[in-house]
Amino acid sequence: MTSATYTVKGMTCGHCVSSVKEEVSEVAGVSSVEVDLASGLLTVESVSPIDAADIRSAVEEAGYELVTK
């Protein structure tokens, strides 16, 4: 099991969290998604590592921005 954490910018409510979770859950290989509204943290678990570009695309599809470090 692999876990990766990202920061999402622009979420302001529970609906935002649901949108991000829904889109990221559809990325191939993702087994679980947790989103914390207060911190903006997105934690993605998968069997094998997932390309950050795929996660970024899913977050953008939901209407938000993945913060690059």
Domain ranges of the chain: 2-67
CA dist 36 and 19 (Å) reads 13
- Is 37 in a helix, a strand, or coil? coil
Residue 69 confidence (pLDDT): 61
Residue 57 confidence (pLDDT): 98
Indicate the pTM of the whole model.
0.93
Q: What are phi and psi of 62, to 5 degrees?
A: -75, -15
Task: Grade residue 68 by pLDDT with cuts at 50, 70 and 90.
Answer: confident
CATH class of 2-67: alpha beta
Rounded average pLDDT over 31-38 = 97
CA dist 62 and 17 (Å) reads 9
